[in-house]
Amino acid sequence: MDGATTAGVVIGMDPHKRSVTIEVMTADESIVHRGRYATDEAGFTALLEHAEQWPQRVWAVEGCNGIGRHVATRLVAAGEQVVDVPPKLSARVRTFATGQGRKTDATDAHSVALVGTRMSGLRPVVADADRDVLRILVDRRRSIGEEHTYKINQLHALLLELVPGGAKRDLSAAQARKILTGVRPRDVVGKTRKRVATELVADLERLYARKKAANKELTVLLRATGTTLTDLHGIGPSGAARLLVEVGDITRFPDKGHFASWTGTAPIDASSGDNVRHRLSRGGNRKINRVLHIMAVVQLRNATEGRAYYDRKVAAGKTPNEAMRCLKRRLSDLVYRALLDDLSRGAATGPGGHTGNGSDSSATGSQPDTGSSDKSLPGPATTKPTTGIPKAS
């Protein structure tokens, strides 16, 4: 045990809301401690006090963008060095290490510790107040949008029962209120439907005001970052903020192919023998994939280069879905170039970005027609990640 106290260790952590399970592992993958601690003030203090016996330590926390965020930020605030272990990566290691995929807190902590010990280039967790503020606000904006969708669906269901044929698809609160003004049900069921529908209209009006205020607040914050993402056709304040929050440091992606793999827009090579084919990737960051999908839909609705590119793909024999996937890949490349261009101009590309980078990426227009690619997943990275963690010994 005395030797373990002087050597560097990786503390793998499987986090939950009210407790964390840890495993302390040395560079030769020897296990020197296992434990479970509460996440309240007393439990967190005990965790830090116990970890002090290993002066050279790195915390490897699973899911720092999800369930592990609350404990990772507390560790960083306490001056600890923390790296993020993606859940998919730890799941693969768990399968290889145990020979099966059974999950327990102890096996999860063990797989996280193995990832932290074996893998270099894991993304460090850093304190970034601007990014945290942007994340809180964009999550709030998303929840308002989801609530709006839920209530508008309820309203449509009631109007279908009150008005023959229902209302049009793109229905505003004012239009719904006008429709309800002309509805005069005589039975108690119809009167109840109208009352509830009227209440939903009032809810939608309040939600619209909240959406407008949230978009305005995001726009002000985005303007302060100097990002040009909102100049791209089809990306609004919410989409730009989501990109900045999720991407963080764009230089962690060696090239546009790896970025497309992360966004889930790079098709997966499924060729076998002489049969050359690709299939849709359902991996990657689904939040960012949704942003790119909305961007593609908006471009298709207007006379843009994106629409022209889509039409060319369809004319060449692609199905509409295949053409849409090609367009999303092009848009992924365009976003990647825009983020690099922001970096090369010395603009703060949002939370987590670095200024003054010497990238030689050229400026690009707001349409997906400049040096982009719809190739499949990239090969191994030829450049080293810009961030890394010190070895455990």
* SS3 assignment for 33-59: EEEEEECCHHHHHHHHHHHCCCCCEEE
Mean pLDDT, to the nearest integer, of 290-299? 95
pLDDT of 352 reads 43
Question: In the listed set 118, 141, 166, which residue is the last one of a domain according to the structure?
Answer: 118
Mean pLDDT, to the nearest integer, of 106-113? 92
Mean pLDDT, to the nearest integer, of 257-262? 92
pLDDT of 382 reads 47
Cα distances from 341 to residues 229, 335, 347, 371, in angstroms, run 10, 10, 9, 14
**Residue-averaged pLDDT of the chain:** 84
Residue 379 lies in a domain: no
Mean pLDDT, to the nearest integer, of 203-226? 94
Question: Does residue 137 carry a pLDDT above 80?
Answer: yes
Q: Are residues 172 and 101 in the same domain?
A: no
Domain containing 303 equals 229-344
Q: Are residues 337 and 245 in the same domain?
A: yes
Domain count, the chain: 3
Residue 367 lies in a domain: no
Instruction: Please say whether the beta carbons of 228 and 320 come within 8 A.
Output: no
Q: Are residues 140 and 107 in the same domain?
A: no
Q: Are residues 151 and 104 in the same domain?
A: no
Sign of CA dihedral 50, 56, 62, 63: positive
Residue 30 pLDDT level (bands cut at 50, 70, 90): very high
Q: Are residues 195 and 300 in the same domain?
A: no
Residue 259 lies in a domain: yes
Q: Are residues 251 and 331 in the same domain?
A: yes
Question: Does residue 374 carry a pLDDT above 60?
Answer: no
Q: Are residues 177 and 243 in the same domain?
A: no
Q: Are residues 191 and 110 in the same domain?
A: no
Provide the pairing of β-strand 19-26 with 31-38.
antiparallel
Question: In the listed set 182, 207, 225, which residue is the last one of a domain according to the structure?
Answer: 225
Residue 348 pLDDT level (bands cut at 50, 70, 90): very low
